[in-house]
Structure 1
Amino acid sequence: MSDAQPEFSKVIELGESGKPARTFKLSTNDEERKKVAARVGALSISTLEGEISISTTKTEIFVKGVVDAQLVRECVSSLEPLDETVHDEFEVEFTRIPEEASDDPEAEEDWRLPEVHLDPDMDIGELLVQQLSLAMDPFPRKEGAKSLIDLYAQEEKISPFAVLQDAVKKSDDNQ
């Protein structure tokens, strides 16, 4: 695990398996929202909150949740600020069974399998930030925004002979 501190952290103890699901309400403060905005590439975040429900078995961890956020992003076309609202429900499954190490350095991880989580604790704040980044529009575009390419691109040069192209019709006689 890396030594970097998460921008928003709320560590919980997973506890014993088989207990009823536990639900946690999460909310960020101004400083945390500034750090998260820098991480996810937003100009600012005015609200970031969520609700996460966790249930566990001996071998699995099931997480259901919702993330809500109000962000200011940069339009990919005009570079103007635009508001984005994120409301996303998610489900994530983790396994407590360690993966067997592969001797093949070229072997790829199977993304369909649950992520391995061996710690007795889980940072649900970090999980919420990860889910926010997945739910954000990858290419935010302001409605009606003109592309900078359209505004500043040079006009296509038209050949002076283009006018003659329609005037002279090719036939078998004049080829």
Structure 2
Amino acid sequence: MPPEFSRRLPLGLVGPGGRTESLAATPEECAALAARFHLLGIDSLAAELRLRPDSDGAVLAEGALTAEVTQACVVTLEPVPQRVEARLAFRLLSPGQEESDGPEDLDEIACPDGVADLGEAVAEQLALALDPYPRAPGAELPPEATESETGPFAALGRLKRPN
């Protein structure tokens, strides 16, 4: 199944001077991404990427993404519109390059056929930038019940007669 937001770029087109890519999702792509990420909606998604060759043959991508999304409140399920703005930095690996696994390393995306899907990379970065616990204004979680109120002997405690 092809990605909902696909913008393929052969890595060979990134010359020694680099290049800039502007990406914007269509309304249909936004709707498909919203379904994939279980969002109420995505009104817009755009990214600006500066691509330049790295010393080891990979391509370094840096830039920013902006999106207008609507998530469900984790308390009330009301729509919560949000603006997402995120800085992007990742490496696109040429065929045969091994991924690094250091904690300080940039995210790396393997491109085994020498073609990067910049749209899918931006979509994945959007998923990482979303608020994991969106809340509507004024929405608060109910207080947690204590063990004595919900534990296995709670029903027995309610049957106890006062002295």
TM-score bracket for this pair, using the shorter chain length: 0.7 to 0.9
* Offset of residue 125 of structure 1: 0.7
* Offset of residue 17 of structure 1: 6.5
TM-score, scaled relative to structure 1: 0.71
SS of equivalent residue, structure 2 residue 12: coil
Change (3 A) 1:24 1:47: same
TM-score, scaled relative to structure 2: 0.76
CA distance in 2, matches of 1:60, 1:35: 30
- Alignment partner, residue 13 of structure 1: 10
Change (3 A) 1:74 1:12: same
- Alignment partner, residue 79 of structure 2: 81
User: Which residue of the other structure, out of 22, 26, 31, is the alignment partner of 1:25?
Assistant: 22
CA RMSD of aligned residues (A): 2.6
SS of equivalent residue, structure 1 residue 15: helix
Amino acid at match of 2:64: V
* Offset of residue 111 of structure 1: 5.3
Asked whether 1:67 is paired with 2:65, we answer yes
What CA deviation, in whole Å up to 9, does each residue of 1:21-78 have, x standing for no partner?
2111111111111001011121011111111111124522101121111111100111
CA distance in 1, matches of 2:14, 2:21: 17
- Alignment partner, residue 44 of structure 2: 47
Amino acid at match of 2:7: K
CA distance in 2, matches of 1:124, 1:17: 13
8 Å contact kept, 2:74–2:133? yes
CA distance in 1, matches of 2:11, 2:92: 12
**Structure 2 unpaired stretches of 5+:** 144-148, 150-156
SS of equivalent residue, structure 1 residue 128: helix
Q: Number of aligned pairs? A: 145
Asked whether 1:110 is paired with 2:101, we answer yes
- Alignment partner, residue 137 of structure 1: 131
Change (3 A) 1:92 1:28: same
Asked whether 1:98 is paired with 2:60, we answer no
* Offset of residue 93 of structure 1: 2.1
Identity value in percent? 32
Moved over 6 A (4+): 157-160
